[in-house]
Amino acid sequence: MNALEVKGLTKVYPEFTLDKISFCVPQGHIVGLIGRNGAGKSTTIKGILRLIAAEGAVSVFGKNMDEDELAAKQMIGYVGGGFRYYPMNTLAAIRKAYSPFYPAWDQGKYERLLAQFDLSERKKVKELSEGMKVKFALALALSHGAKLLIMDEPTSGLDPLSREEFCDIVLQFVREEGVSVLFSTHITSDLMHIADDIVYISQGRLLAACSLKELLGKYRLARFCSLADATAAKAIGVKAIKEGYEGLLPRDMQISTNVTVSDATIDNIIVHLEKANEGVEGYAEFN
């Protein structure tokens, strides 16, 4: 069974449309939701959680979000970017306000997580570092039996060591407790360490929903001495770089001798597909 299934998720704003987004989060997988700022990642998550009115079907472990929203949401733990609690509140006050919404709240697990994360309920929000705030949000999300973590830019603002620690914690819970994860981020290096699958959105449209391995295996990064060489090779999303020009080539394409190729990173793929899609009606989709 899939932990999350999204079919045809659509939201129309005056200047932006999230257009028929469909993907799934297999049970026990970490799925990275990627795209440039403004691509529709947060709108997708808000639509899934029904924080905004959106068309399309959403189910969590087989429970339809519209028909059985309360039961579906009991299985979800949410961690967002930033921490929007009143800074003078203690962690104890936040927990006391949060826990009654979840009949399956496990106080023992919560206390074990606080100990693991070296957090004290006596502390006030203003006394927490950004990394500690994210850990506390994760403790809340995991203490009511949630089997699906939905996280919207949770590592935004964290330093590299804190991001690494956070990713290690998430991976631990996936492996030890079978938690499934949908993880929106623009810091793609985090996903390289832990993601199984990728959902890539550009300008409100789905460009890819596949395994990370499949996405990385689709293209190679190619460098050319001249724009004419790049054009002749039909490179995707060509842009100027210090040493010449750069673009993507399908991995199975025959490479000429005057081209230097290397493995493409997620960042390379996003940059060049976005470049290819600038100002065009069609999309350089992953297919």
In order of start, what are the domains of the chain with their CATH numbers? 2-203 (3.40.50.300), 218-277 (no CATH)
Inform me whether the pLDDT recorded for 166 exceeds 70: yes
CA dist 252 to 116, 218, 249, 259, 269, Å?
A: 47, 8, 8, 14, 16
Residue percentage of the chain with pLDDT more than 90: 66
Strands (DSSP E) found in the chain: 2-12, 17-26, 30-34, 55-60, 63-64, 76-80, 148-152, 180-184, 197-202, 205-211, 219-224, 236-241, 244-250, 260-263
Over residues 256-273, the pLDDT tens digits come to: 777 889 999 999 999 999
User: Which residues, including other chains, have CB under 8 Å from residue 219's CB and lie 6 or more apart?
Assistant: 236, 248, 249, 250, 251, 264, 268, 269, 272
Q: Give residue 285's pLDDT.
A: 52
Instruction: List, as one string, the DSSP characters of 201-265.
Output: EETTEEEEEEEHHHHHHHEEEEEESSHHHHHHTT-EEEEEETTEEEEEEETTSPPPTT-EEEEPP
Over residues 133-143, the pLDDT tens digits come to: 889 999 999 99
C-alpha–C-alpha distance, residues 61 and 27, integer Å: 8
Over residues 4-22, the pLDDT tens digits come to: 999 999 999 999 999 999 9
Strands (DSSP E) found in 92-141: none
Confidence band (pLDDT; 50, 70, 90) for 155? confident
- Alpha carbons within 13 A on the beta-carbon side of 212: 20
Residue percentage of the chain with pLDDT more than 70: 95
Inform me whether the pLDDT recorded for 176 exceeds 80: yes
Over residues 81-112, the pLDDT tens digits come to: 766 777 889 999 999 999 999 999 999 999 99
For tokens 């990173």, what's the residue? 265
For tokens 């699958």, what's the residue? 197
Inform me whether the pLDDT recorded for 163 exceeds 70: yes
Over residues 35-83, the pLDDT tens digits come to: 888 899 999 999 999 999 999 999 999 999 999 999 999 999 998 876 6
Tokens for 233? 């090779």
Q: Give residue 279's pLDDT.
A: 52
Over residues 181-230, the pLDDT tens digits come to: 999 988 888 888 899 999 999 999 999 999 999 999 999 999 999 999 99
Q: Give residue 282's pLDDT.
A: 42
Q: Which of 66, 105, 110, 79 is nearest to 92 (CA)?
A: 110
Q: Give residue 36's pLDDT.
A: 86
Inform me whether the pLDDT recorded for 286 exceeds 60: no
Q: Please, what is the angle between helix 107-116 and helix 130-142, to 10°?
A: 150
3-state SS, 256-281, equals CCCCEEEECCHHHHHHHHHHHHCCCC
58 versus 125: which is more confidently predicted?
58
Please provide the average confidence, as pLDDT, over all residues in the chain.
90
Q: Give residue 100's pLDDT.
A: 94
